Structure 1
Amino acid sequence: MSSVQYRTLVRANYRQLSQSIQGFKPRREQNFLVAEIGKVLLGHYDAARRILVAEAGTGIGKSLAYLQAGIPWARLNNKTLIISTATLALQEQLINKDLPLFQPHCEPAFTFTLAKGRARYCCRQRLQDLVQGKSQISMFEAADALTPAQQTQLAGLWQALQTGDWAGDRDSWPEPVENALWTQIQTERHSCQPQLGHSQCPFHLARAELDKADVIVVNHALLLADLSMGGGIILPEPENCLYVLDEAHHIAHIAREQGSARLGLRSARRNLEQFNKQVPQLAAALNDDGQNAVNRTQQALQQLIPSLTELYKQLQSAQRAGDLTPDEQDCLRFAAGELPGLLTHALTALKDEHKQLAQGLSRLQSELAEALKRQPGNSAVSAAMAAVSLQQLHTDEAGSLCELMLKAVGPKHTPPARWLEQSKTDIVLCATPLAVGHLLEQWCWSRAAAVVMVSATFTALNDFSYFRRSVGLRADDGSQYLRLNSPFDYAGSRLIIPALGCEPQDAGFDALLSEEIPRWIKGETATLVLFSSYRQMNTLAKTLRDKGHSLLVQGEAGRQALLELHRMKCDGGQPSVLFGTGSFAEGLDLPGHYLTNLIITKLPFAVPTSPVEEAMAEWINLSGGNAFMQLTVPEASRKLIQACGRLLRTETDQGRIIILDRRLLTRRYGPALLNALPPFSRET
């Protein structure tokens, strides 16, 4: 493929698209984004590392830009374009609007589809066995353990699957399927055995469609799950993919979640005891050749179950003795990732015992697969395989927890966050990697054909450094960075910081808000008030309602229902006031007359209350840094930009933002936060 051929296609597609859309207006920033993506893809900056990080403000049209630049390049190079998003709303926009809009005007032609994880699809064999009342070695030992309503629903699912009226994915079934029931029929990685037959398996039919698609839309969690397993499991191999990561500022957080592990000691022991009771049924499904695998599995269980029991008792004793004391949230974080000797010794043994169990289960699964070859359609064997696969999944998770808890960390490397959680019924061991940049480099950056990351909020305090560190990129590694301002008329809207008598940390701040909020909503038709906590929001909602104010409060109805009520009131000329917290500060789209008055009660400083946040701040301070300036302030800057971004959603929108937090003017970090905001007309 020549660069001339590629550029010619991009220009021709643009002409067709612009001529077909009535009232089409060229956007200079969007065209510049298309051009820069093209340069990176063609290797003009670095042929060995085709990575672009592009911050593009609201209104530029990011999605249409990366479709115009990415699809022709991927098609001409025989690559698959993977578009990954953080939110369902953006996935729906791409699948239902942007891709269908561009498809008729694009050469080469392309197909597209939406990818979902295995757990969103039912296992045809498990559903059939459960409906027909055949032996189930699972939570439901037999079909008569199901309620009549569950049996009716399962029968409907099975009938629709047989007739082709249902594709087998949970999302397309018109009625909710409760989690406890769905887990009995969902597809799982270990139970996807070739011997069970895949010709009619909903997941594998969907997977086959992915192989045919030129463009695949996916969410970040599924993408990272696939990459963490080496890639090519659900999606194509990274070397054959152009990745576009939209809303990519979420990637580091989701990568940490992907690498996390948990082990509830009592629940794990109960699961193993239940499985141990089922082993004789597993043995009955095998001939004499499989008894060695059965014996090996039983021996591992007989070691592991007492070890879990003993560790639980030891931790309880240590808590009673005051050696391990959880905090008010029943959580005990191990400072600097250092484990007490008790845990180190016990987890070393557990790691080896889980490894022995995993080997036994693998042998057992192989023997069952051979038995199914000899007896195709044997429901007892297929049920046994499903039970073993579920136990393999639990064992893998427990092994990962042991690995992460015991992982040795060098002096210059960030240790994982490690902690335990105490509940009334269990003690749960938890671990999360803090530094995930090396994982992303290993999984994706170093392997992908090309990567384009886009977001409206990459920079913090006008700099890419915070994001770059979080995802493992370096300033000198060949990756390119681009920042494009929104075309919106920010100067036509006002940013007001009132002179207030106290600041958020003062005792009288809630009382001050109860006076200030009515002042700033008076005479306004469409208001959104953003709070830093549910407690404060609910307290103020009660106070203002007692004064006669009509409010729509997050949590009192579903998000979509609240927004629909808000729009109806605005359309009817009635004043409407929405109260929301952090989740309303991102992704909320209320254009035009649906939002003209935005009130931010407090700067979005995250208090490091979770073990992961505490560990991250601790490590920065231990390394000689300043966690507040390096972590808290940059993250607050990004969140404040997102919150202010709710006001202007189209080029003709106007309104005002009131920030009821004087720290923007009184603290040394204030000017940096203010200067990072779009150029609103400021009033103080």
Structure 2
Amino acid sequence: MLCDPLKKTIRTAHQRIATSLEDYRPRPSQNYLVAEIAKTLAGEYDKKQRICVIEAGTGTGKSLAYCLGALPIALKANKKLVISTATVALQEQLIYKELPFFAEHSGLSFSYDLVKGRGRYICAHKLENAVNGDEQQMALMPTLSSPLSEMEQKCLKQLHQAYSNKKWQGDRDSWADVIPDRVWGLISGDKHSCQRQMKAHQTCPFHLARNKIAQMDVLIANHSLLLADLDLGGGVILPEPENCIYVIDEAHHLAHITRDFSSAAATIKGTQDWLEKLLKFSGKMAQTIFSASAAGSQFKLNDAVDDIGRGHKAVLTMLDSAAYEYNEDHTYRFAHGLLPEQLTQQAQDIGEAAKIALRTLNKMHEALSSDVNDGDVKGFIAEPLLAESGQYIARLETLYKLWSSYSKHSESVPHARWIKRMEYKNHHDYLLSDCPIEVGFYLKDKLWRECAGAVLCSATLTALGSFEHFAHESGLRGEPGVKFIKVPSPFDYPQQALLHIPKTECEPTDKAFSDYLVKALPQSLEKKQANLVLFASYWQMQHVAERLRKQGWDILMQGEISRDALVRRHKKRIDDGQGSILFGTQSLSEGLDLPGDYLTNLVITKIPFAVPTSPIEEAQAEFVQSKGGNPFLSITVPDAAKKLVQSCGRLLRKERDSGRITIYDRRLVSKRYGKAMLDTLPPFKRQID
């Protein structure tokens, strides 16, 4: 329960923050959030499952609300507060701005740090071996299909020199220049070779960072890192879920990122290439291991790899002779995720062989690690082998995940399964993929029922006025004790912004719509102001930009330069009083913050409907249809409604902002679903022609 001393702590911290903020205005919605978060996490609504889901509009002050509501309770209960975000921009805002201010002015004593995955750090021994190892050894590494270029070798030496001279801490994000992926793949840490229990690795950058993390009260992570930890069982990268109170900010991304983590893919011929390397490597590893049983493990591993190869050969023959109708992207999706019996049988054999290979290689890896710790094998001899075996283990894990899923006939969780034929100059290959359609069960079992508490928040969690869609995909529908809260923005929408829906000559679905935009857009652009035009497709954006540029319009367009450079140029033009026109798609608008004069005129060309062209989206639609539902109304429309709200949310970022939104899509007023979408938008002053 929320005891009086804790209430007093929260009130006092809130008052301190209020007196320290310039132009602070009391916000009833923010006060309400603080109270509801605190009551939820204190167990006033449900003692076992302490979870609240919050949709709070722009300007509500979500980050301050969850710091005030969650941190005092986490400190009191001796739990870690883990704040997980979807974007780097929000992470940086929290770690460099919000939390330092909160720590200085709240009166609460706490420590905080940014948590990054193992793969963002170098393994010091991998770096040493990559610089000083022989070329023959490097050529056998499974991540390298060809030797490093001269530029890549130069970069590797620069990294080694900087780390050796203690001018670089060994994390990828703090290196000023770009590190090529091939170079990073050779030197980055992984769970197999860079183990803390091995003496030689206790001072590697990741483990030093982990030691520091253990002392922190607040940890800033991203959704991918959170899911990577859950995939490992929890408590490996981050503290154990039962010892954590989570704040999942930008929670509308969570289901999508979880789906990515639960998927698996592998090629046939490409896999055979690295399996042949594994056969050569296993002999070297067996000879190095001190135990006499290593030779038996090697034979067992090689037999399993041979079994995988025979299975792959049979699958290749089957796919070559199958009369599948591939689409324009050379992809064929299995309807309802159901595979032909012949492929399922092969999958069972390959999956079992991959399981044996994985288990055996893990055993050899652990044996060599023990030999190093016991002093039976020198570290400099074992390190390259452990690094290489770690990469093979990771690949075998994915291979087992794919084929074990393909081997299952009927499942409670529907899967999307598809193959892609890949053409090369002298040969062809097949990429086989598997992805669960629904991931709510995974989050329910791994996170919601394990954690000490959770706050999920975003400006867009409802779709068409309901939390139902989000609750279903995140695994919270019907869960006891979950509190769903929607608070309004403090903005005076009718006074601050005008929403204009002009008459149009054609529908967005017409082929002539792109050419119509070329004619109509100049009437909606303000040359002396900050303009943002959002398109539903790259092709349409490029088509319109090309023709407007020929008419003399100066346009900054997404994709031509980096996102950061694009925003910097846009802001500089406004600062110089020139005006600016920025063209982008939904991906640009996500998380885009252009307050004040940096955006006063927003144009949305059409409702951002996703076209279900990917195998996953097609399978989702098919699954809904099989249950008697309407995919368009239950998936496409809710997703588009959320995206439209996000897009409109770019205009007003602060309480003094103002401007105009123009939407060139009459379906908002002519279709029933469009009117429902329109009703979910903030109550801007409206002008509908």
Aligned position for 1:384: 385
Q: Provide the rounded CA distance (Å) in 2 between the counterparts of 1:3 and 1:280.
A: 64
Q: CA deviation at 1:551?
A: 0.8
Q: Which deviates the most, 24-33 or 283-292?
A: 283-292
Rounded Cα–Cα distance in structure 2 between residues aligned with 1:475 and 1:56: 22
Question: Where does 1:532-547 land on structure 2 (aligned, <5 Å)?
Answer: 532-547=536-551
Residues 602-641 of structure 1, C-alpha deviations (whole Å, 9 max, x = no match) = 1111110000110001110110011111111111110000
| 2:260 aligns with one of 257, 264, 273 | 257
Change (3 A) 1:21 1:522: closer
| Aligned partner of 1:577 among 578, 581, 588 | 581
Counterpart for residue 46 of structure 1 = 46
Question: Once the two structures are superposed, what CA deviation does each residue of 1:309-361 show, in whole Å capped at 9, x if it has no partner?
Answer: 3322321122xxx2x22111111111111101221111111001101111221
Q: What CA distance in whole angstroms lies between the structure 1 residues aligned with 2:303 and 2:14?
A: 66
Q: Please state how far the C-alpha of 1:512 moved relative to its aligned partner.
A: 1.4
Displacement of 1:135 in angstroms is 7.9
The aligned runs of 1:478-489 (5 Å cut-off) are: 478-489=481-492
Q: How far apart in 2 are the matches of 1:184 and 1:394?
A: 15
Separation in 1, partners of 2:150, 2:59: 52
Q: Kindly report which structure 2 residues correspond to 1:428-467, keeping only aligned pairs within 5 A, or say none.
A: 428-467=431-470
Equivalence for 2:190: 188
CA–CA distance in 2 between the matches of 1:484 and 1:393? Answer: 44
Q: Where does 1:214-293 land on structure 2 (aligned, <5 Å)?
A: 214-287=217-290, 288-293=292-297
Aligned twin of 1:352? 352
Using the size of structure 2 for normalisation, the TM-score is: 0.95
Instruction: Find the aligned partners of 2:153 and 2:506 in 1 and give their Cα distance.
Output: 61
Counterpart contact for 1:130–1:136, Cα < 8 Å: no
Deviation at 1:138, TM superposition (A): 4.8
Structure 1 CA distance for aligned equivalents of residues 108 and 577 of structure 2? 48
Structure 2: which amino acid aligns with 1:176? V
- For residues 535 and 220 of structure 1, the distance between their equivalents in structure 2, rounded to whole angstroms, comes to 30
Residue matched to 2:363: 363
For residue 513 of structure 1, report the CA deviation from its aligned partner: 0.8
User: Does the CA contact (< 8 Å) of 1:269 and 1:309 recur in 2?
Assistant: no
**1:565 has 2:569 as partner:** yes
What SS does structure 1 have at the residue aligned with 2:524?
helix
Distance 1:482 1:396 in 2: 40
Q: Report the 3-state secondary structure (helix = DSSP H, G, I; strand = E; otherwise coil) of the residue aligned with 1:239.
A: helix
Structure 2 unaligned blocks of 5 or more: none
Question: 1:514-553 maps to which residues of 2 (within 5 A)?
Answer: 514-522=518-526, 525-553=529-557
Structure-to-structure mapping, 1:662-681, within 5 angstroms: 662-681=666-685
Task: Tell me the matched-pair count.
Answer: 678
Counterparts of 1:642-681 in structure 2, within 5 Å, are: 642-681=646-685
Distance 1:344 1:306 in 2: 15
Q: Which position in structure 2 is the counterpart of 1:37? A: 37
Does residue 78 (structure 1) correspond to residue 78 (structure 2)? The answer is yes
Q: Flag the 1:238–1:370 CA change in 2: closer, same or farther, 3 A.
A: closer
1:183 partner SS:
helix
Question: Structure 2 vs 1, CA of residues 17 and 227 (structure 1 numbering), >3 Å: closer, same or farther?
Answer: same
Question: Which AA in structure 2 matches 1:664?
Answer: L
Matched-pair contact (CA < 8 Å) for 1:72–1:107: no
Using the alignment, how far apart are the partners of 2:359 and 2:43 within structure 1? 46
- Which AA in structure 2 matches 1:49? Q
How far is 1:163 from its partner? Answer: 3.6
- The offset of 1:139, in angstroms, is 4.3
User: Which residue identity lines up with residue 380 of structure 1 in the other structure?
Assistant: I
User: Is contact 1:196–1:382 with CA below 8 Å preserved after alignment?
Assistant: no
In structure 1, how many angstroms separate the alpha carbons of the residues matched to 2:212 and 2:90? 21
Are 1:596 and 2:595 an aligned pair? no
Assess if the C-alpha contact under 8 Å between 1:528 and 1:577 holds in 2.
yes
Verify the 8 A CA contact 2:338 2:409 in the aligned structure 1.
Answer: no
Match of residue 422 from structure 2: 423
Report the Cα distance in structure 1 between the residues aligned to 2:616 and 2:150, rounded to whole angstroms.
44
Q: Deviations over 1:223-253 (max 9, x none)?
A: 0111122210100000000000000011111
- Mean Cα deviation higher: 380-389 or 238-247: 380-389
Q: Does 1:496 align with 2:500?
A: yes
Distance of 1:487 and 1:508 partners within structure 2: 40
Q: How many percent of aligned residue pairs carry the same amino acid? A: 42
Return the match for 1:624 from 628, 632, 640.
Answer: 628
Which residue number corresponds to residue 197 of structure 1? Answer: 200
Root-mean-square deviation over aligned CA pairs = 1.9
Q: Give yes or no for the alignment of 1:101 onto 2:101.
A: yes
Of the structure 1 ranges 8-17 and 358-367, higher mean CA displacement relative to structure 2 is found in 358-367
Partner of 1:110: 110
Cross-structure match for 1:176:
178
For the residue of structure 2 that corresponds to 1:44, the secondary structure is coil
> Could you tell me whether the CA contact under 8 Å between 2:46 and 2:480 is conserved in 1?
no
Deviation at 1:377, TM superposition (A): 3.5
Q: Deviations over 1:69-112 (max 9, x none)?
A: 11111011000000000000000000000000000233441110
Distance 1:344-1:5 versus aligned 2 partners, 3 A rule: same
Q: In structure 2, the residue corresponding to 1:419 is in which secondary structure?
A: strand
Displacement of 1:146 in angstroms is 4.3
Q: Report deviation, 1:573.
A: 2.0
Q: 1:349 is paired with a residue of what secondary structure?
A: helix
| Separation in structure 1 between the aligned mates of residue 302 and residue 140 of structure 2, nearest angstrom | 22
Report the Cα offset of residue 222 of structure 1: 0.7
**Contact preservation (8 Å) 2:441, 2:475:** yes
Aligned pair in 2 of structure 1 residues 672, 148: CA closer, same or farther (>3 Å)?
closer
Change in Cα spacing, 1:332 to 1:196, as seen in structure 2 (3 Å) is farther
Change (3 A) 1:11 1:160: same
Match of 1:423, SS state, is strand
* Structure 1 range deviating more: 89-98 or 388-397: 388-397
Change (3 A) 1:170 1:139: farther
Q: Determine if contact 1:300/1:360 at 8 Å carries over to the other structure.
A: no
Give 1:147 shift. Answer: 4.5
SS in 1 for 2:610: coil
TM-fit CA distance, 1:45: 1.2
Q: Distance in 1 between matches of 2:141 and 2:602?
A: 55
Whichever residue aligns with residue 105 of structure 2, its letter is H
Q: What amino acid does structure 2 have at the position aligned with 1:423?
A: M
Instruction: Show the counterpart of 2:343.
Output: 343
Look up the equivalent residue of 1:254 and give its one-letter code: I
Residue matched to 1:132: 132
Hey, what's the Cα distance between the residues in 2 that align with 1:138 and 1:312? 30
Q: Is the 8 A contact 1:103 1:109 kept in 2?
A: yes
Q: What runs of 5+ residues in structure 1 fail to find an aligned partner? A: none
**Aligned mates of 1:102, 1:330 — CA distance in 2:** 53
How far off its partner does 1:150 sit? Answer: 3.7
Secondary structure of the residue that 1:578 maps to in structure 2? Answer: strand
Equivalent residue letter for 1:273? E
The structural deviation recorded for 1:388 is 1.6
Confirm or deny: 8 A CA contact 1:135 1:141 kept in the other structure.
no
Higher alpha-carbon deviation: 42-51 or 519-528: 519-528
Once residues 307 and 148 of structure 1 are traced to their aligned partners in structure 2, the CA distance between those partners, rounded to angstroms, is: 39
| SS of residue in 2 equivalent to 1:197 | helix
Q: Secondary structure at the match of 1:521?
A: coil
Are the equivalent residues in 1 in contact too, given 2:80–2:245 (CA < 8 A)? yes
1:443-476 deviation digits (Å, cap 9, x = unpaired): 1111110000010001110111111111111246
Q: Evaluate the alpha carbon distance shift between residue 136 and residue 182 of structure 1 in structure 2; reply closer, same or farther with a 3 A threshold.
A: farther
Q: Distance in 1 between matches of 2:540 and 2:158?
A: 46
Shift of 1:189: 1.2
Q: Is the 8 A contact 2:351 2:407 kept in 1?
A: no
Q: Which moved more, 1:271-280 or 1:282-291?
A: 282-291
Q: Name the counterpart of 1:25.
A: 25
